[in-house]
Structure 1
């Protein structure tokens, strides 16, 4: 049985997924998650994911942003020894951060397809909008775990590309809404 590839992220109502916690990507609306009232139960999905994750996958830029912070974060301690995969054509082994467990660089979609055929549980993709678009277009993502925030940004990277491709059906696995307007939407890709 193939490993499940899960995209998880915060998303605005108009589909933007980058810069939820700051102006890292440079658009003026960066940090938009912090503008929504904090309601702990709206983030319960993140705790569920910690228990389910058996490996992590990042694009190069998300890896470079998350690795130095998550390596030493108590909130992400469960991820420390998990295998991590960085998809990049330019990253070199000497640029990988030390002390954050096993990290493997994947160079191609074919490498990701091979990884999915190995034994093990779900592989979670955090951030990495461009990687997610590419993998979605290649029909390699199996599930989307989304926390949709009640904000329209008008700028930023979208999770889904605009390529002319056959429709991809999704099946709702789980959903919830919270008092702060955040909606949890968990979709399985129908094949």
Structure 2
């Protein structure tokens, strides 16, 4: 069985909304409000090295597909299989992309052949649906010392399983890496 990992930038009050840009009034809080510390992004490099596939929701796909293929730092992601969970996407243009129509298809993908983890990037609605269906195996969270007070949150109270902290680190800028396994 393949491990499905949800990876997110999160504020101290649990908001994952617009970390690099977007609609939130304080969009870009990951780089606008916290000093850059290179080593805190080591987790992102490790995710890319260990992933055998990337999974996205439709909105994230629409945001990433026009940009990531042009960026050298995402060469590994650009080459690997990508899965978009969507009921409306019909003709994905990003190379090596397959559309999954349901969470049942996601469950089958996890059970099927394939190497490496399946990494879910920045796809909030998808991540919540996967958690509710009991399909998330691990969370990679970089928790920023920022309080937004409002915005979209990763956890909505309908997730399955408790979490076991398996890795953590605090960086000089106050960001905390938290890696949790989902216990069932």
TM-score in terms of structure 1 length: 0.91
Which whole-Å deviations, capped at 9, do the CAs of 1:44-80 have from their partners, x for residues lacking one? Answer: 1011111101100000001111111111111111111
8 Å Cα contact 2:5-2:120 kept in structure 1: yes
Aligned partner (choices 55, 58, 66) of residue 57 of structure 1: 55
SS in 2 for 1:185: strand
8 Å Cα contact 1:18-1:127 kept in structure 2: no
Tell me, yes or no, if structure 1 residue 170 matches structure 2 residue 170.
no
1:96-175 superposed matches below 5 A:
96-97=92-93, 100-120=94-114, 121-163=116-158, 168-175=161-168
* Counterparts of 2:144 and 2:104, CA distance in 1: 34
8 Å Cα contact 1:21-1:30 kept in structure 2: yes
* Counterparts of 1:82 and 1:127, CA distance in 2: 17
* Counterparts of 1:39 and 1:114, CA distance in 2: 38
SS in 2 for 1:135: helix
Unaligned runs of 5+ in 1: none
* Counterparts of 1:83 and 1:18, CA distance in 2: 26
TM-score in terms of structure 2 length: 0.95
Unaligned runs of 5+ in 2: none
* Counterparts of 1:155 and 1:29, CA distance in 2: 10
**Partner in structure 2 of residue 4 of structure 1:** 3
* Counterparts of 1:69 and 1:28, CA distance in 2: 23
RMSD over aligned Cα atoms: 1.2
> Segments of 4+ in structure 1 off by > 2 A?
none
